[in-house]
Each structure stands twice: as structure tokens, then as C-alpha cells.
């Protein structure tokens, strides 16, 4: 696989995730979309690591994965609470911060 196709894939992943984040309304899908964006970013980082023959980017990717795992755990728990309280977990049901 060429470096170019790898970057293209990572850009597609990121763009797709972003589009999903902005288009979809239910919180679970939005969470999923943001995970896809992270995956795209991770792929780009790994490609750079391979190109430059360096291990630093690999380390960053590991940290991103760890944080993402933790974030998913917290986010899913939060969504579970929203579902229990509001029947439905969409963006509109959690807009109490409106000024």
C-alpha cells in the first residue's frame, strides 16, 4: 500500500466521522462518529511514524487509544443516564446549557 493511499484513507475516515458528527442527531452515533475521527487521526500518525522510521508517533497513538477507551466508557455511562431520564438520547434532549 502506498503512503498516499494510506493518507487518503485517513482523510476519508476523518471527514466521514466529522460529517457523521454534524449530521446525525442521536448521541450514540455522534460518539461513534467522533471515534471514527480519532481512528483517522491515528492512522495518519502511524503512517508518519512508518515514513520517518520513528517510534514517537506510535507512543502518541497508544495514549490516544487509552484516552479514547476511557472517554467511551464515560460517554456511554452518561448516555445511559440521559436515556433513563429523558426517554430519548438525542442532541436536543441535552441542551440545558442554552443561554
Q: Which of 30, 36, 43, 61 touches other proteins (CB under 8 A)? A: 30
- 65 is written with which cell numbers? 487509544
CA-to-CA distance for 67 and 8, rounded, in angstroms? 25
- 30 is written with which cell numbers? 455522534
Q: By CB under 8 A, which span of 22-30, 39-47, 58-66, 72-80 interacts with other proteins? A: 22-30
- C-alpha Rg value of the chain to the nearest Å: 16
Comparing CB distances to other proteins, the nearer of 1 and 22 is: 22
Comparing CB distances to other proteins, the nearer of 18 and 68 is: 18
Q: Among residue numbers 38 through 57, which ones bind other proteins (CB under 8 A)?
A: none
Q: Binding mask 72-91 vs other proteins (x if CB under 8 A, - otherwise)?
A: -------------------x
Amino acid at each position: 500500500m502506498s503512503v498516499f493511499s494510506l493518507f487518503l484513507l485517513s482523510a476519508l475516515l476523518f471527514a466521514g466521522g466529522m460529517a457523521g458528527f454534524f449530521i446525525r442527531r442521536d448521541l450514540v452515533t455522534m460518539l461513534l462518529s467522533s471515534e471514527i475521527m480519532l481512528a483517522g487521526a491515528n492512522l495518519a500518525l502511524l503512517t508518519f511514524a512508518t515514513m520517518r522510521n520513528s517510534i514517537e508517533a506510535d507512543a502518541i497513538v497508544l495514549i490516544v487509544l487509552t484516552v479514547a477507551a476511557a472517554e467511551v466508557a464515560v460517554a456511554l455511562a452518561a448516555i445511559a443516564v440521559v436515556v433513563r431520564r429523558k426517554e430519548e438520547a438525542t442532541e436536543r434532549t441535552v441542551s440545558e446549557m442554552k443561554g
